[in-house]
Amino acid sequence: MKTCYVTTPIYYASGKVHIGNSYSTIVCDVFARYHRMKGFDTFFLTGMDEHGLKIETAAKNKGIEPQTFVDSIAKETSDLWKNLNITNDDFIRTSEERHIKVVQAIFERLIQNGDIYLGQYEGDYCVPCEAFFTKTQLNSDGTCPDCGRPTIKVKEEGYFLRLTKYADPLLKYIKEHPTFIQPETRKNEVVSFIEQGLEDLCVSRTSFKWGIPVLSNPKHVVYVWIDALSNYLSALGYLSNDETPYQKYWVNGDRVIHVVGKDILRFHAIYWPIMLMALEVPIRFELIAHGWVMVKEGKMSKSKGNVVYPMDVARRYGLDAMRLYLVKEMSLGNDGIFTYDRFIEKFNVDLANDLGNLVSRSISMMNKYVQGTVRKSTFTNEFSQDVECVIGEVVLGFQKAFDAFEFQDGLELVWNLIHRANKYIDETLPWGLAKNPEKMAELETVLYHLYEVIRIVALMISPVMPDTATIIYDELGLNGRFLTTEDMMYGVIDEAQVTQKPIVLFKRLDLEEEFKNLASDV
């Protein structure tokens, strides 16, 4: 059986997760669900990054211990993923003993082989990003190039990772593996950054205590990015008594996918593969770097009061509607915008008008004209043949897109099939065929084609909209059958009995009324 290992970034335990963070987790969930449908042994990891000065300071300001602080954030985040129907197999925390032991062993190994050395650091440090920057990397006003905040001067003893030693091998690896960093624009950014010249990276701190102590020199704690990046191996049992998952999903695995936001691209595209080279661990992953979920005012900010939280949207409009919007509206690598007016517009068009209308009127006609029993028919005509052709083309394109993490393209194809089916109803006029007993065979084939379109559409949207797909399966009388990618073909059903009373999947929203309700909630 082939394997798939997919990971989110581990989220920094500094506060409540917003819709942008949720996007990363949702698209990983879509990828994991899709690969399970393909029959892959799939392991889906997410978790929390819980160390660093920022956490220590936040806990101190609240008058509590850092561990207590991160425990609360971790529980809240883990509960959120359950509420968002996320199917992660593990939730790694960097304060866990299983992770701490691996990080300490990795650090000592890198010291012993000379890839980490003790030196003196003096430079600019961004506390929110937990990152060091050289003068050439800072913005012209001396602020952080990632978040735009002021940096602070830091001078202290520190351990350094020899990035310079591995710059050329990393460039060679990137050029020999075209899909290593996706999309292409992000790969070009990384190549340009490396070619400008890397400097050895400070990977320990002595100015705070909330971190993993260096075993051979405990006054140092491990720099947060060495700590955080190691989670992708520690969760698999690397360097533990049981390395079976590490061997299975990493060393011998078929697909390893890291999904990150563009703001942490450099850490995953440069520091992480260099760490692996130094450890002599094979670089097995593909890196997917997505854009940000923005609002009208730009990037979401708690200080601006423009942060959108996922459960606020899901509670009002349904979880599947929110998941679809995020996945269908965001193209790989680019920023996307969340606005309630756009969300409501897409809800009405994509869900109420297109998908919901197709399902409800098709099942209603099946009940009205053939007592809910749909059978494969030998009758055919040009319209039916065209529908079969579109099904085949859409399924091939959909699978190619989802294999490549290009979910927006895949979902556009799904909606093309929905549009074709709605047009098919207008072309064949089932209500007219039902009036003529001699047209019964033609009517049956029309209803069967509609049934098959709805079944295949439900199967394709199931990684994105699992609850909606399950409702449609039940209404089609599938009883948990035909739920793999091998079933994404026309004609696998010989006969089926649909539900007598289809529910309204998505009720059309009134934009003006919705904005009144949203305003009253503020």
> Tokens standing for 137?
């990397």
CA distance 126 to 490: 56
Q: How much is the pLDDT for 301? A: 63
CATH 3.40.50.620 occupies which residues in the chain?
3-290
Q: How much is the pLDDT for 33? A: 98
CATH 1.10.730.10 occupies which residues in the chain?
340-497
CA distance 10 to 21: 10
> Tokens standing for 21?
């963070």
**CA 381 vs CA 69, 377, 378, 443: distances in Å:** 66, 12, 10, 11
**CA 34 vs CA 72, 264, 327, 491: distances in Å:** 32, 26, 14, 22
CA distance 514 to 142: 44
Closest CA to 89 of 39, 28, 38: 28
Q: How much is the pLDDT for 303? A: 57
Identify whether the C-beta of residue 138 lies closer than 8 Å to the C-beta of residue 147: no
Number of C-beta neighbours around residue 371 at 10 A: 10
CA distance 268 to 7: 12
Closest CA to 464 of 37, 43, 78: 37
Identify whether the C-beta of residue 66 lies closer than 8 Å to the C-beta of residue 208: no
> Tokens standing for 131?
């990152």
CA distance 521 to 198: 50
Per-residue pLDDT tens listing for the chain (522 residues) = 999 999 999 999 887 888 988 999 999 999 999 999 999 999 999 999 999 988 999 999 999 999 999 999 999 999 999 999 999 999 999 999 999 999 999 999 999 999 999 998 787 888 787 777 877 788 988 899 888 889 988 888 999 999 999 999 999 999 999 999 999 999 999 999 999 999 999 999 998 999 999 999 999 999 888 999 999 999 999 999 999 999 999 999 999 999 999 999 999 999 999 999 999 999 999 999 999 998 877 677 665 667 899 999 999 999 999 999 999 998 888 898 899 999 999 999 999 999 999 999 999 999 999 999 999 988 999 999 999 999 999 999 999 999 999 999 999 999 999 999 999 999 999 999 999 999 999 999 999 999 999 999 999 999 999 999 999 999 999 988 899 999 999 999 999 999 998 999 999 999 888 888 877 765
Place of tokens 């085949």: 392
Percent helix, strand and coil across the chain, each rounded to 5? 50, 15, 35
Query: Which CATH number applies to 3-290: 3.40.50.620, 3.60.70.12, 1.20.210.10, 3.90.1150.10?
Result: 3.40.50.620
Identify whether the C-beta of residue 24 lies closer than 8 Å to the C-beta of residue 9: yes
CA distance 278 to 109: 9
CA distance 365 to 247: 53
Closest CA to 520 of 346, 316, 309: 316
CA distance 363 to 177: 48
Which contacts qualify for 94-98: CB closer than 8 Å, 24 or more apart?
A: 94/10, 94/47, 94/48, 94/49, 94/50, 94/51, 94/212, 94/227, 94/228, 94/231, 95/50, 95/51, 95/67, 95/70, 98/234, 98/240
> Tokens standing for 493?
């059903």
User: If residue 287 lies in a helix (H) or strand (E), which one and from where to where?
Assistant: strand 285-290
User: If residue 117 lies in a helix (H) or strand (E), which one and from where to where?
Assistant: strand 116-126
Report the phi/psi class of residue 506: left, alpha or beta, with left for phi > 0 and alpha for psi in -120 to 50. Answer: beta
How many residues does this entry show for the chain?
522
Closest CA to 356 of 509, 508, 506: 506
Question: What CA dihedral angle connects 390, 391, 392 and 394, to 10 degrees?
Answer: 80
Residue 477, CB-side half-sphere exposure with 13 Å CA sphere: 18
CA distance 503 to 479: 17
Number of C-beta neighbours around residue 477 at 10 A: 17
Q: How much is the pLDDT for 412? A: 98
**Residue 428 CA to chain centroid, in angstroms?**
40
Rg (CA), the chain: 26
Indicate the fold that domain 340-497 takes in CATH: Isoleucyl-tRNA Synthetase; Domain 1 (1.10.730)
3-state SS track over 38-101 = CCCEEEEEEEEECCCHHHHHHHHHHCCCHHHHHHHHHHHHHHHHHHCCCCCCEEEECCCHHHHH
CB neighbour list of residue 120: distance below 8 Å, 6 or more residues apart:
155, 156, 157, 158
